[in-house]
Amino acid sequence: MSDWETVIGLEVHVQLKTASKIFSGAATDYGSEPNTQACAVDIALPGVLPVMNQEAARMAVVFGLAIGAKINQRSIFARKNYFYPDMPKNYQISQYDQPICDGGEVEIEMEGSSRNVMGEHRKVQLTRIHLEEDVGKLTHLENESLVDYNRAGTPLIEIVSEPDLYSPDEAFAYLTALRNCLIAAGISECDMEKGQMRCDANVSIRPRDTTELGTKVEIKNLNTISGVRNGIAYEIQRQTRAMQNNHPILQEPRRWNADEGYTTSMRSKEMAHDYRYFPDPDLMPVKVSKNWLDNLTKDLPELPFDKQRRYMEDYDLPYTITSVLCPDPKLAAYFEEALAIYDKPKQIANFIANDLLRDLSAAGEHGSLPLEECKVRPAHIAELVQLIDKGDISSQIAKEVFFEMFETGKAPGQIVEEKGLKQSTDTDELEAICNEVITSNPKPVEEFKAGKEPAINALKGQVMKATRGKANPRIIDELLRKLLKG
């Protein structure tokens, strides 16, 4: 074990999925022509005034409640002053000393999970959550730079953690858990490729078994979860080497260079900020009434790890399957919809986690086909499991039926009917086939009668072949044994 302990605190910016911007009525859609979604407020034309979007506040409060933060009855907006061409007002509207939420905690999963058992969990403490607006986007070309203000004014929450993470893997686990909670709360898609979740990682080291915090370095604007893990891992090495050589660690922002795998200092005169925060005189305080809080508290979403514990306990599902179903609220709702129709959690969960997800991932052009575009509906899965249970089809044939369901969207019953896949339970017909197989296969018959039990499998295989897999295996077994005895 190293003589040094790592301490990490993360500042995570998350885009809220409101239809319009936080202080204007402009749309927030992604991927539109540059500067087609920036209205007078977003580009700060003289004389315009911002108006707070209530939906953004609702989303921040829902998330705060879900993770046990204190919701402040009154919070205010502040101006964060600096000059940069991606921000036409020359100040960003944010919250400073009176944010919308204080505290809260996010449950993370550490190591030690196995097929059936959930691993060790713990809660990471948060400092605060505040609302703010996003800025525009700069694209630097060889001799010029382009600016797109479509993103300016998009609502963000910034989630600030305490220095309560102690390794790159924990930071990774935290971001994964945070993302799953935000998605479950229905307030962001957290698509990092679209910049909907971005992270600054504060990293310091200190001698092991001491409590005072070391000097921190802030790695700015990490936009992948693995970038966060790798950037922090690099910083730990760099800082440890500096300490061992008695070089001071400078408190500074650094940039993570993902392609080369190292961080570089961003320190410059321009970076030495004094933001001169002051309350924004154009905006009213955000007031959260008791009544509103009570209403929001009533339909809070279930957090993914709570759902997972419930699924493991109530449905006796293994850890591995629940950890596929629970992080995705749409998939979990799909499962519960099928379950409401036919109460066989294990079989239904298996079809969803194995067959359905496999086919969705094979059908997608970029990543998986979205669940809402899938032709197989929860009722179809419930019916399929029912057909197996009734003995109409074997699990083997069910796989074939599923393939057809996925391609055509037809109900499994209809497919079984149309393709003549129903298992034969006509005992007379089956008995005739069994007799034929017994007559034409004297060797296994003799062996079975001499006490060699497995020899019956050869006979079963022949019957299956003769019925093209449509005979019910249980009935074949019974019939063969009866005929061989007689």
The DSSP bridge pattern shows strands 197-207 and 262-265 to be unpaired
Question: Of the listed pieces 138-146, 210-218, 223-231, 450-458, which binds ligand ADP according to CB under 6 A?
Answer: 210-218
How many Å apart are CA 209 and CA 76, to the nearest integer? 40
Least distance CB 75 / ligand ADP (angstroms) = 17
Closer CB to ligand ADP, 12 or 416, in the complex: 12
Closer CB to ligand ADP, 163 or 413, in the complex: 163
Closer CB to ligand ADP, 203 or 456, in the complex: 203
Question: Per-residue DSSP letters for 342-376?
Answer: S--HHHHHHIIIIIIHHHHHHH-SSSSPPGGG-S-
Judged by CB under 6 A, does residue 213 bind ligand ADP? yes
Tokens of 308: 């997972």
Residue count, binding to ligand ADP (CB under 6 A): 15
How many Å apart are CA 248 and CA 242, to the nearest integer? 7
Among 102, 105, 162, 328, binds ligand ADP (CB under 6 A): 162
Contact 263, 231 (CB under 8 A): yes
Question: Of the listed pieces 48-56, 62-70, 161-169, 353-361, which binds ligand ADP according to CB under 6 A?
Answer: 161-169
Closest CA to 106 of 165, 167, 18: 165
Among 4, 11, 125, 411, binds ligand ADP (CB under 6 A): 11
How many Å apart are CA 267 and CA 129, to the nearest integer? 27
Among 68, 103, 163, 227, binds ligand ADP (CB under 6 A): 163
Closer CB to ligand ADP, 72 or 239, in the complex: 239
Contact 223, 255 (CB under 8 A): no
The DSSP bridge pattern shows strands 91-94 and 74-75 to be unpaired
Quickly count: other Cβ atoms within 10 Å of residue 106's Cβ: 25
Among 75, 188, 202, 350, binds ligand ADP (CB under 6 A): 202
Judged by CB under 6 A, does residue 92 bind ligand ADP? no
Contact 149, 88 (CB under 8 A): yes
Q: What is the largest CA-CA distance in the chain?
A: 100
Least distance CB 217 / ligand ADP (angstroms) = 8
How many Å apart are CA 401 and CA 423, to the nearest integer? 13
Chain position whose Cβ is nearest to ligand ADP: 9
Tokens 């009213």, residue located: 284
Question: Of the listed pieces 179-187, 198-206, 287-295, 345-353, which binds ligand ADP according to CB under 6 A?
Answer: 198-206
Judged by CB under 6 A, does residue 128 bind ligand ADP? no
Among 204, 239, 347, 423, binds ligand ADP (CB under 6 A): 204
Among 27, 44, 52, 160, binds ligand ADP (CB under 6 A): 160
Residues that bind ligand ADP (CB under 6 A): 7-11, 160-163, 202-204, 213-214, 216
